[in-house]
Each structure stands twice: as structure tokens, then as C-alpha cells.
Structure 1
């Protein structure tokens, strides 16, 4: 199939590259000319394991191309995927201005194309996370601009939400748990089924529904997963007060088949581009329609509080005297295997430490270039994890990168001014560190 992907962020780039890798001809379009120039050379603007190999491979095979020309992308494709940013507005609602501006331009291009070719066939697919009813609005914009279309032409709008985890996005796309498709007619369903057939050969279902239900699926999934994490963070905080160990609690309830083990890890809170934005948008949708989503609101509030919890532990350990204390930070991105700093708990933690007069030295395997844009010269950045803790009064583990899991603890102790570890992801064994002479603080641990 001939496909265009409008927008080359995380979702757009993965979508375009993976569709090309299954044999489709894909054009990825973006208004950022500098980004497109680099992508044409195989230089990616993001870190995502495995993505650079797929991009280079399909560029070389001429199945994947990049352009800043929207008209070229629309004219040369049968399917047009909208992978555009929908950032939260001031009131928390999703800002759809970019999406609708692009749709208006696409509609104008389609109107010109229909005059030249009355047999034109185009399916516009919304892949961005958008409020319920957005596909209907896209359809309204397109058909009000085009007017009456010839009976020989086919133009329609579908919804196809993404479920890609940063750090595992390529695997998630190639081997999905399920594919959700929102359509309004059999022809669009047939096109989308054919497109996704290569990705569901292992038995994953293609779930077909109306566009509004498809749009709601994404918000519901993210809110539910965020709820699990926030719930366990509250249980962890109670465990500390009661002298229980949240790790033992987590493992035990995870064996219950009604619950399962995933997304039950307590820590310093969730971040990223999806959970915070989507929960705000869902709360706003509820308010607009007279539904007070109390649980969703609580999930968000608990998370904001959790980001500051570890700072309170640090303050308590140092009796509130953090002026001139050197605090080392391991991990800056909101999760491992990504350089994404959006809504990362590390931002809140570092800013709170700076307010208290501490100096901060941070290390992250891939996120430091993005972190430098946020903190500039307010903090120092180390060349490696051990350089970060040299002369430190405490270490705060924020992001559980694999290389942080089995460090040389004896070497760490020799480097640090005082051997104090605040384990924000519970990746270390308290007994082991205490036996080596460390002062250890976890989340919900005895």
C-alpha cells in the first residue's frame, strides 16, 4: 500500500518505519525541515531501541522517504495517517489546533485532486491520541471543504489509536497485543484489515468498532494503567508506616489472576508524554459532559504528590539542612530505554533539591542532551554513573536503567562522602546495602 504519515514524532516515526518494513511505500512528512534533512540521512531525532536500524534499512530499500511537502505526501498515498501532537492546553484539555489545521490543508489538497481524478481513493486515519468525537470533526472539516464527491471516488476517516511503549515501541508495533480500528463502513474496515494483516499472524485480534469507541479505548487504557501505579504508590506509603514491605505485597497480589503482576511497581511516580496528558484530557472530557471522574482525578493527584515524596525523605535524613550538600542523580528520563524527559519525575525532584540549596550532579545513559535543555547550567552532568557520585552526600536512583541494577557497591562507597542511597525504584536489596555499610531508603520498604 501507499501510505503517508503526517508528523515524525515518536508515534509517526515508528509507524512509518514499521509499515515500510512490512513492504509498504511510506512517505513521512513534517514541517520541521532540519529534522527531515537529518532523517533523509538516517539520523534520528529520538532514541528508541531498534528504530534506527529499521529506518536506515527501509531508506536504503527506497520504501521509506521523508518530505516537508504535505501535498506530495497526500497525493502519493492511499492512506494518510495523522500522527500529530495534541499537547494539553492551559485548562488541561487536548489542544487540537495542529490536527485541525493539517486536516484543513489536506481537505484543500483533496478538493483539487478530485477535480483532476474523479476516481481518487483516500482513507484518512487518526492515530494521534485525541478526545472522543475528533474523527467526526475531522470528517466534517473534510467534507465541508470538498463538498459533494463523485460516486466513483472514495474518501473516509478512521480511528486507529496507538499503544506503543517508549523504549519498546518497535516491538509493540510489530507484535501488538491487539489492533483497534474505528471505522464507519465496510470498505474502510477492509483496507485497515489488509494493512494490519502482517502484524497479527500470531493470533492477536483486530478489534473493529465505531470511531468514538476506538478513541475512548486509548484514554481508558492509559488511565487504568496509571491508576494501578498510583494505587501501589499509596499502598507503599502505608506499608512504610505499618512496617510492612511493599515488595512482598506486590509480588503476592500479582499472582492473583484477576490482578496480574504488571504496572504494580511503586516508585517516584509516572511521567512521559502519555499518562499526564491523557489523564488531564480525560478529566476535561468528563467535566464537559457532566461526569465527575473522581478516581481519575485522584490518580493524577497521587502521582504529583509521589514525585515529591523522595525529597521529603532526603530532607528528613539531613534534618532539613541541604545547603551545600551534593546529591547525585542516577537516571533522568521518565523511564528506561528512552531519552524522553517530558513530565519526568526527575525534573520535579531536582528542582525541589535546588530550592533547598543542594547541588546536583546527574547521569543518564541517553537523556542528558534533553535534560541540558531543561536545566542548562543549574546542575552538573557526569560522564558516567560513578563520576556522578564522587564526593556525593547521597545518591538518588530515579530511573531504573539496566546498568544501574548491579553496580560495584564497594567502589561506590569509596567514592561517596557519605554512603546514603535513596532508591526511587526499589531495585536494590535493603539488606545487602545495609550489610555493606550504606544507609538505605526505598519506597514502601521496611
Structure 2
């Protein structure tokens, strides 16, 4: 008989796709979430956020018995407790684990000694050891595993089925139980120790954050020198295999990359110099964009109407968490500009045509597909290269003999 699963934090960007995947794999799955609005939306068959193919799969899962609740007492008969709780950094850029620990404490009375507790959230190295000690002190000998998510917002349902799943545990019994669970929804499983898994998640996200910082730093160097960066970018990458992985510039933000890089830095006693440098570069791109627009208006934005195109932290998505668009907005307002915000995936005060008609200038903050073909004949800052008009010249060389 298959285990009964409860996903705590189950109506969010990470928990809901996971819960749907378990349900469609045949597990009796309950989604627990304190957000009653999200719970209602899920029970009605609608994702509370954009997820490709989400509603269709959610409705199929509901037919198989998936349900969402805000009442912790509903999870009293569960065998597997999957915790999906955000792990932000505090104002000092140190890990803030109080939400995770508090949630575990709240559900600990429902955990039995034969239960499996799965941590799905990103964890600071050593946190699993702390959680194990905490459960043992409560008298519970439950099995414990750390199985971090590695999915991209908006594509989680697809990536759960296509990406290898990291599974870690302190003992064979815990690993075996977690493996039996995830082998039903993942194409392969990578076995690690808990601290290896904790580092794997943080280092993977930090690596991506560093890649974006390199591109953004080079962009700012070129543009500050009066050089069209994208001509340089094309020259670097053209028919040069070793440069095909070279990222293009853009705002690197969102709920994961920044804070995971800072968590890794905190773990290494703030000696992760590359990570801190990446943070300064990526966060600084917002100010660079504002200054770039200000120069287009003879160094004065006072009284100008400026359109911010895109509020989400990534393209073709509605997730605005930790988006640098809001940092851009504050920078513009500091210089006395009136800011007109628009995002096709959010509710807007004005439609796009009206925003562009009213605006004196614009900054493309998120390269949504809806913005790709716009013809903006006003001062514009486009760090993404969406509206680039120049190309490098490629001339023929010698002809090889056949």
C-alpha cells in the first residue's frame, strides 16, 4: 500500500507542482498551506500562479484525490511529511531559518516514529543535522531525508519529470524510503550525504549567479566606454565553440539565486569573495540602467514619465519576488521621475499602449514575449539587447579544397 503524503507549503511555486506529481504517480496526496486563497484556487482546479500545463495536470490530480487544506489536523493520518518552506536571508545577509524550524515544530505532533520527513527547501549547510537533533530531542525517531528542488519557476512540472533528483539521508533506511518515493516521479536519483546535498543546491545557484554577473560586468564596462556591448558579445560567440555558454546580460534576481549565494557566503564565514562581487555587480545593474537613462535626458529625470516594462524577475512569468524592477523604480523616483509600470502577467492600471504613449522614456526590465516586437521611438534602456539594431559584419575567408 502506497504512503499517504502531505506537502506542507503545498500551494506555492515548489510545493504545488511536487504535490501534483506525487498525486499523478498514484499517491494519496494532501497539500497543506496557510494561504487560504491559494488553497481555494487549488481545490477549484487552478494554479495560483503561472505554470506551463499546470491547470490541466492539477485537474487530473484532483480527480485522483488530491486536495488542499489549511487545517493541520487534516494531516494526522499521513505517513510522509514533505516540508516546503522558504529560507530567506535576513537584513545582514545571514540565513533565516526560523520559518523552517517553526513549521517543523508546528507539525511535529503529527509525525510518528515510523514517518518519513522530507525537507524540500534549500537549506544552509548543517541545517539537516540541526533538524535531526531537534526531532530526536522530541522523542521522535522518524526517518529524515533532504531532497532539494532544482526546478525553474513556470516549468516545474516538466522539470520534475526530466531532471535527476538529489536524495540524501543520514542512514540507509531513510534513504531507501525517500528513494522509493522519488523514483516514481524522477528519471534518476543521485545519492548524497545531507551536507553534500545542502552544498549542491547552494553551489549550483551560486554558479549561475556568478555567470550572470560576468555578463553584466562586461556589459557595464563596454557601455560605460561608449562601446556597443552586443557587437562585442556577437564577436566573442560567433563560430567560437568555447564561448557558446557565455551568458547574455540582464537583471539577475528572483527568490533563489541572490539569497542562495549569500547563504553560501555566510557558511564560508563571508570569505566567498566571488559571491559578494557577483552580488554587487548584479544588484548594481539596476542603478546602472537608471543612470544610463538619466544621461539620455541630459542628466535630469525630474518630472519625466518613465515606463518600466516588466515587473516579474524573469521573462514570461508572473513571479515578482525579489525582482530588480522595483529597485529600478526606486532609483527613478529618487531622481524625480514619475514611473509608469506595466507587466502583461500582472494587473495593470493602464494598458501597454497608454503607458508607451504617456512615457517620455522607458527601461525594459523583463523581456516578456509581449514586448519583443515593440517599436519604441523614445529614449530607451535595454540591457537585454531585445531591441538591438546593429550586427557585426562577417566577411568570407579562404575556401577549403573539397
State the TM-score, normalized to the length of structure 1: 0.81
Q: Structure 1 residues 209, 254: closer, same or farther in 2, change over 3 A?
A: farther
Aligned to 1:135: 128
CA RMSD, Structure 1 to Structure 2 (Å): 2.3
Question: CA-to-partner distance for each residue in 1:215-246, whole Å, 9 max, x for gaps?
Answer: 11111001000000001111112223273634
List gaps (5 residues or longer) in structure 2: 392-402
Matches within 5 A, 1:268-347: 269-287=251-269, 292-347=271-326
Aligned to 2:166: 180
1:189 aligns with 2:175: yes
The one of 350, 353, 367 aligned to 1:382 = 350
Matches within 5 A, 1:8-27: 8-27=11-30
CA distance in 1, matches of 2:243, 2:181: 33
1:31 aligns with 2:14: no
Question: CA-to-partner distance for each residue in 1:271-300, whole Å, 9 max, x for gaps?
Answer: 11111221222221111xxx6111111011
Bigger Cα displacement from structure 2, 15-24 vs 240-249: 240-249
- 1:336 deviation in Å? 1.5
1:398 aligns with 2:401: no
Instruction: Count the aligned residue pairs.
Output: 387
Q: Structure 1 residues 87, 245: closer, same or farther in 2, change over 3 A?
A: closer
CA distance in 2, matches of 1:19, 1:254: 44
Contact 2:32 2:72 in 1 (8 A): yes
Aligned to 1:164: 151
Aligned to 1:78: 79
Q: Structure 1 residues 391, 69: closer, same or farther in 2, change over 3 A?
A: closer
Question: CA-to-partner distance for each residue in 1:78-110, whole Å, 9 max, x for gaps?
Answer: 221110122222322222112112222333233
Contact 2:220 2:288 in 1 (8 A): no
Question: CA-to-partner distance for each residue in 1:113-138, whole Å, 9 max, x for gaps?
Answer: 56xxxxxx311111111101111111
- 1:258 deviation in Å? 5.8
CA distance in 2, matches of 1:182, 1:388: 50
- 1:257 deviation in Å? 5.9
List gaps (5 residues or longer) in structure 1: 115-120, 150-154, 370-380, 414-418, 433-446
Matches within 5 A, 1:44-443: 44-62=47-65, 64-73=66-75, 75-110=76-111, 113=112, 121-146=114-139, 155-176=142-163, 178-201=164-187, 205-240=188-223, 241=225, 243=227, 245-246=229-230, 248-249=232-233, 252-253=236-237, 260-261=244-245, 264-267=247-250, 269-287=251-269, 292-368=271-347, 381-383=349-351, 385-407=352-374, 409=375, 412-413=376-377, 419-431=378-390
State the TM-score, normalized to the length of structure 2: 0.89
CA distance in 2, matches of 1:334, 1:420: 23
